[in-house]
Structure 1
């Protein structure tokens, strides 16, 4: 390993675009945030060291045995989060980046590309959820974000955001445009004059420092590894990548699988499957590679732990040979979770899909299992187990591998007779993961709030007759919009009760699951008014009231406190039966297995 002559950022990025530098398959995916990219460019402009880089000179005879990837230029969190596979011509070698690919990819995005991440609260499948932005430097103002700790105001902006409003200075300079400047003197002045900010304090200095950092200075210090022994190179890689952004557990597994699978490309297969289970067929999930690969190990019947000693060629062969079954089981499991009413917002533990997929695999379930009437009772048992495991705290946290192995052992022996609910729960209890709730836990659930992490799951336990495959909303029975101090006083509510009314409006006893269309139609109507209009048929009205624990309750605004307390007690009783007593679940298990 030898130290090489330092290079400028412009020189290194030029080499990347000439494909002189590539990434080996052992590299993880790009994981840096936009803030990390901003800080890196800010550090370079301030003349700070940004660490050394480690490159591997891959000889032609070695290059043909490995998979390489190009550097990502236009990052899109949903549509283009991964680098494309590179082609190394036969008889040619390459230079692979062992350490520094996050920094190099960040610089490539900053100067040549764009960054598109999901807007906060936007839906994953929304067309405008991922605005494409490029990195800009504010030539006029100092940064106003003290938390970021930067000297320069660098931001990822859309072209519209960077354009000056009428009467404002044209102050946003696209960082990549510095590569188009002919020099660091007259060309900068000409650019500032064009923007009519040539006399602005510090504008010339900021642009000059950007020019120097990207094109003149040589901060890119790197070492070159020439050893062609793959085991030694992998050891170096693991050691130098032990710091920085923590490696995902799936990264080394996926990297090694890429080189050990014989017929399939592991990285491409996993990427494709992650995308498919998350967003195809109307699904909206956020399952990771970790979850997919954990499921793969589970179904392949090998050790499920993410340890280096487990990434053997023998285990990878088992995973590859079972990949078709793994893929089918995961897709069916994702569809089931969708039918149970879950999505990326209310599925609080993605790991729950692992045993669901394994059960479907061991049962030999086909697509017909998802909607056949013959399997309805079995699906119900599986749904109730999934839901209760998500409601109970701590089930899918620590000790996950031990839990998965215990569940796998039970399902492996008993899956042919239906979902073995009692046996699974007994195995979980033996691992310290009991699904029985005590009364204190039940009382805690009664204080869950609107849109809380576990609120949907609890509501689905309370009212299991709903077809949650359709779009249901968490709905306030008494509309929140009516619960302001002014409106409550106008409605005749006593002043001393108002704080209690407002404090209770978002809590579980005032919530229900309501079909999307009905929820839109309901809007801010009081429950009595809406029920009378929505259910002209007395029988349907009575059914709705009974199923939602509303029958006989006062539904006028002034009686909200009485309504809340009475429904709270009804819900508590339901939860004690559904969650607090293990014997009440035996009937479900028996029906599913019989």
Structure 2
């Protein structure tokens, strides 16, 4: 096993040429806020852990990194059959996919925006002096259009600025910013000291950015050489499982318990039992989650830190938490029941943010045993939060902002309108529109919603481990393309998608729908829950394989999906216009 440093430039140059992902790797799951945090860590010179690679000539299915990050990709589009063959030497990433994909997208690629356009990474090179609401010193964001100075397009470092050094880039940027500032009115112009401070930050930031890309000191690689040594696939698979499951990891709560035990020695046990209760829904809450819930309802804000539990203020907080524990415990039990019976959440894949549940706890703490109308609004809030990325950035600030709406007795029920007003003010969507059904990154969440509505249970609540649902085409994609000549936009649409168990999906042949669903129906499978249209479910022979029938089925089924989703996500609307273009 070798252990060596590498420059980011060398890593980027090998991506999709000699460096690939093995088929056992999960999809890319990081959100943009995690990508920004990684960039901020690198700019601060924080270590980001070793990358683990495996060199082999074995026949292993190889997958490319995404040159443009898609949030819900079809992984089959990225496999490389020629690279996968036995005898072809390749290097696989066993640990570090999320970090490398983020770095590749930031320095040489892009992400796909919600409208499908290409968004590239830009860095504010004047940053480094003030913490943002997210706790970041260095602002990086993805934009579909070129941003003005002081934003710098990071990909230019491997493009048009590849031959330039940090001093040249910093001088050019500072000259431009100096000219802009000198043209300002006297009262708006920064002082000479402020200007010098900014110039220094720009020089430092370009120096660090260039160093990250070109120097062999920021990234370290451990490589299992399966060509020169005997690293069998079974051994490597065992290593992969271990490094990706991890051991016992310290989280923020572990640091806080040391400060808390003196005031309430039973608190760690109470928190651990609460975390275990919440995780009976198969969601991976850690101990920080119930602590943040308690901090919020006791008016201390969602930011979890040991300092809140020290000194006289900490003693007062612990006394309040201890006195109010019976009430909090009841609210945690209600939250768990809401997750299990109302939302039927059984998998991390349909939860984009654990923190989105904190306002629900906040509401239940002050409003126990809500009526069905409030529960419907709470369900709507949950789906809106997941679909619209309400917690994609500034999470603690969002939770604190909502506390004024939900953290009190609400005789009028769950305050959906106040919550919507808050997110409108932050520039987020608040109502499901028909156009959302065509967004690739939302299709899994929407399809899960439909199955929960139709089945009355989570499709992820499976008896056989490893048989969690996959998205599958009702009318086979390949046949629609090759035999009927339809383009991808007509095929890859929610009206033609359904869930199928992973095991069944592997075994399933590319069978035409009339035959396939006819067999399922004969075997007693409730095909109406998949097809959603009574006439096709009653007579599966109607699923004829021709363009007119396919389009009729797809469009009517999409309309039915819209009706189900809009009813659930927009429960506050007294009348939902089912046929409109909303």
The two structures have a TM-score, normalised by structure 1, of 0.45
Compare CA radii of gyration and give the structure with the larger one: 1
The two structures have a TM-score, normalised by structure 2, of 0.46
